[in-house]
Amino acid sequence: VTEFELIARWFTPPPGAGVLLGVGDDAALLAPRAGEVLAAATDTLVEGIHFPSGSPPRSIGHRALAVNLSDLAAMGAEPRWALLALTLPALDERWLDGFAAGFAELAARSGCALVGGDTTRGPLAVTVTVLGAVPAGGALRRAGARVGDALCVSGTLGDGAGGLRAAQGDLPPGAASDALRARFELPEPRLALGRALRGVAHACIDVSDGLVADLGHLLSASGVGATVEVDALPTSDALRAVCAAQARELALTGGDDYELAFACAPEALAALGAAGVALTRIGTVEAAPGLRLVDGAGRPVTVARGGHDHFA
């Protein structure tokens, strides 16, 4: 199988909106709509570092796109186009079937057309670049949180880290472990919520490296601080069932959740109910810099580590 055959068989999607020229030339030609700007993001997943060796190929295809779409969600952008650079140790047709199916299913559902890429031989690694559209001036940013804003998160926290443990066989087998594993292997980018937050949230970030780390980025970009009540953090029944003792720490510092954390006026929260995912207020933005964690009685809580560091 040559590179051309590989692309033709697994990676030639139907043409997407705004694609003047897709896969097959030296570069794609893309046409954003008038009045929109493009949000661009890229992320690499390396086997053995970002996902366990031997992970299901469908999960690798899905995750490689999902983690990028999560960055578009955090900007309030609508996915349009993606590029894929795939490094493979060998040409395994069954593996490629699964990978391409996982990627294509999420791409189609998200309105994101694959418009180019590259394949090469080497240790398994996947780099995806996404381009999303957002009305000029309408993008969400990390900067902009205001004193008195409610700090909120979508969904539940800690499931990604719990799911990685499940995938590595570190949790007792059963329905709860399976549910967590699915959260790690097939994360759902919060695209509808990101769009709903345009014009509502004052600042937004996706939770990829752990809440404490990512909230820290949002607060420092905004030049503010916050108090977060750790007993208010939303955790799933599955996480509490199999990681009871660590649920709070995983919710605070575990990575790979791909939920959105945002700041908005407290009274704006009620209008966000239709975004298809639960939203939980976890704290309040304050003028004093830094992130203060307290329990339900207001006592300070400390955490062992501040989140994922890629070079630690």
Query: Which positions touch Mg ion (CB under 5 A)?
Result: 71, 206
To Mg ion, the closest distance from the beta carbon of 206 in angstroms equals 4
* Residue 69: count of CB within 10 angstroms of its CB: 30
Judge contact between 100 and 212, C-beta under 8 A. Answer: no
Considering the complex, state which of residue 71 and residue 286 has its C-beta at the smaller distance from Mg ion: 71
To Mg ion, the closest distance from the beta carbon of 46 in angstroms equals 18
To Mg ion, the closest distance from the beta carbon of 104 in angstroms equals 23
Question: Identity (one letter) of the amino acid at 170?
Answer: D
Among all chains, which residue has been given the structure tokens 């990390």?
142
* Whole-angstrom distance, CA of residue 171 vs CA of residue 169: 6
Residues in the chain: 312
To Mg ion, the closest distance from the beta carbon of 259 in angstroms equals 11
Considering the complex, state which of residue 68 and residue 177 has its C-beta at the smaller distance from Mg ion: 68
Picking from 47, 53, 79, the residue whose alpha carbon sits closest to that of residue 66 is 79
Considering the complex, state which of residue 28 and residue 164 has its C-beta at the smaller distance from Mg ion: 164
DSSP per-residue codes, 237-306: HHHHHH-GGGHHHHHHH-----EEEEEE-GGGGGGGGGGSS-EEEEEEEESSSEEEEE-TTS-B---S--
Burial 149-167 (b: 16+ CB within 10 A, else e): bbbbbbbbbbbbbbbbbbb
To Mg ion, the closest distance from the beta carbon of 96 in angstroms equals 28
Considering the complex, state which of residue 46 and residue 287 has its C-beta at the smaller distance from Mg ion: 46
To Mg ion, the closest distance from the beta carbon of 224 in angstroms equals 19
Q: Give the distance, in angstroms, between the CA of residue 120 and the centroid of all CA atoms in the same chain.
A: 26
Considering the complex, state which of residue 41 and residue 247 has its C-beta at the smaller distance from Mg ion: 41
Considering the complex, state which of residue 73 and residue 176 has its C-beta at the smaller distance from Mg ion: 73
To Mg ion, the closest distance from the beta carbon of 214 in angstroms equals 7
Considering the complex, state which of residue 104 and residue 193 has its C-beta at the smaller distance from Mg ion: 193
The sign of the torsion formed by the CA atoms of 242, 55, 207, 189 equals negative
Judge contact between 198 and 296, C-beta under 8 A. Answer: no
